[in-house]
Amino acid sequence: MKTVRSLVLIATALAVATPAFAQRDPAYQAARSAGQVGEQPDGYLGVVGAATPELRALVNNINIQRKAKYTQTAAAGATVEQMAFTSGCRLIAATVPGEKYKTPAGTWATRTAAPPERDSRCV
């Protein structure tokens, strides 16, 4: 139970920090709105469909920043993988209708007005 509580506290800290750096980039917002990128359960951004070199570079850059943040936060008592998973749960929940996300089955879905499908371990 203590581990779950710790993860929730760490995830709360990431709730503000993780999307902040990506949202500064208008190319990220445009790709997200166009459904070219989507959130994945592992806490990283993925390319939906074919990737141009520019899109792949954008996604790689954001994912490098996310991993750095997960690694920094994991030093507080969780693994990088736990931090990434917890963030993936939160990031998928934060998608808005029309945005893409990866389902627990591994397929890309477009968010509707209904809650997104998330891993059963997400709290």
Model confidence at 50, pLDDT cuts 50, 70, 90, reads very high
Q: Evaluate if residue 10 carries a pLDDT over 90.
A: no
6-28 mean pLDDT: 55
In angstroms, the CA 122 to CA 49 distance is: 26
What was the pLDDT predicted at 87?
A: 93
In the sheet that holds 45-47, the strands lie side by side as: 45-47, 37-39, 100-102, 108-110
Question: Each residue of 19-48: pLDDT tens digit?
Answer: 554 557 899 999 999 999 999 999 999 999
Contact present, 45 and 66 (Cβ < 8 Å): yes
In angstroms, the CA 43 to CA 33 distance is: 19
Q: Evaluate if residue 15 carries a pLDDT over 50.
A: no
Q: Evaluate if residue 3 carries a pLDDT over 90.
A: no
DSSP for 21-62 reads HHHT-HHHHHHHHTTSEEE-TTSSEEE-S---HHHHHHHHHH
For residue 99, the one-letter residue type is E
